[in-house]
Structure formats: structure tokens, C-alpha cells
Structure 1
Amino acid sequence: MTTFRRTIATCMLLGASLAAVPAAAFSQEAPIAPRNMSGAAATANWTTEQLITSTVHDAWMLSNKDEATFFEMVRTLAELSAKNRGITLPDDAAAGRRMGDYIKRQAKADTDQLLYVVVDKAVLMTVKPMAHKVSAPATK
């Protein structure tokens, strides 16, 4: 597991207790195959389509209130966001910490927002500062 992913895992596992309200039942097929914290295959009871359209609260309920499963959902969404935007997530502990902290704050602030939107914004915030550093013009 990369330093970036470990850092996100740590941030997400610290204090990720969300309100518990019954979520709507989902009936999608073709579940995706997430990995657990050690990288081994884990059993998923959710699909990519469900995850993309789930609020923070719905995703928490779909994870059976399990922080490791919720983290897998966040990781899956972060990878999807990066892929869709044609960017690579940095392998940097500080970037992972910033991303995890942002996701945790935003998720707790409004559990009715789409989790994918929160994760996508975190991906953009994490990558943009690095892109500016790389593309900054040389000074004379």
C-alpha cells in the first residue's frame, strides 16, 4: 500500500462515525470487487453505479457502518475521479493527509451530499497544488 493510500486510510478511519438513518434499498447487479486494507479482494455489497449516486449517509449505510468498507468506497471513488480526469494521484503522505482531512470534514458537514462530489473535489484540491508547483514558470 502506498504512503498516500495509508495516510488516507488513517484519516478516514479516525472519526468517520456518521449519523445512522435507514437508506433506500439498492438493487443493482454486477458488484465491483474492492480490495481491503491489505490489498486482498474483499466482498462488496455495492456497485459502482450505486456508489456514484450515493449520498455520504447512503454510502455509510451501504458499508454497514464499517470504516474499512467506507474507506474502500472512498478509495474507489478517488481512483475513478482521477481516471475520469486523466490525472494521477500523488504518492505523498502530506497530500493524502490533506485529502483525507478534507473528505472527513466535508462528509461530516453534510451527510446528504453525494460522496462522489466530495471525493472528486478532494482529488482536484490534492492534484492542483502539485500541478502549479510543476508548471510554475522559472524566475529570472
Structure 2
Amino acid sequence: MDTWRRHQARVRQGTQARGPWPRPARELVRDAARRHTLEHPAWGHRKVWAMCRRDGHRVSQATVRRLLRDEGLLLEANSQRERRQLAARRKAAFATGPVRTRSGKWTSPSLRPPLAAPGDWPAAGTTGRSTSWAGTSR
């Protein structure tokens, strides 16, 4: 009840009832975080946080993230998706190139034998091998 009355008294006096609270951690680390981010634009907030900690600042990851977000220095959320798509396109470009076989020789995709059609498969139960174990020693 006392907290509510103090709040009401501040409102009646015209003073601000709440905030803004000081943000000493943000102010102390702002220059270091900004410097690391501008030197290495591909780094995210976790790497920048680690480098700020290495510089001797005691700050949390969330504080560094908020600071970089407020400064407009964070990468967009879909930058990782774009990197994955680029990697997939590069991988697809090389998928049509030469392939190393089990013997270690290189072959071209056009020289590979075609896959067997279902009609070419052996009948069920016929593997072409003798499955009799009679007379064999282990």
C-alpha cells in the first residue's frame, strides 16, 4: 500500500513516476561494441559480446544485442538463410562435375551406367549366391 501512495504522490507533484533508469552497462560498453562491430561486420552479437568481455567489460549478451539493435548494427534475421541458399547453389553447381569412384578413379556423370529398372531386378529369393551352409567350416 505504501508503494501505491508514493506513486500517487509523485503523480500529484507532477514528477515522473517511473523511469528512465540509468543504463551504465550500455554506456560503458557502447564504444567497444561499436568498434568491434564496425571492424568485423559479419560478426553477430555473441562474438561482439565475447570480444567486449576479452577487453575487460562486464556486460551480458542481451545488453550487447540491445545496444547493437538500437545502433542499427545487427545483421538481418534472414542473412543466415541467404548464406545457406548460396551454399546450396554452389553445391548444386559442383554436383554435375566429375565424381570419384570407389577405386579412386575420376569419372564423368555422362559415363556412369544408368540405374537398373524395376523389371531388371532379380526375382525375390534369388540372390545368385548359394545360401547353403552345409559342409562349410567357420
TM-score normalized by structure 2? 0.23
The answer to which structure has the higher helix fraction is 1
- The structure with the larger Rg is 2
Higher relative contact order (CA 8 A, sep 6+): 1
TM-score normalized by structure 1? 0.22
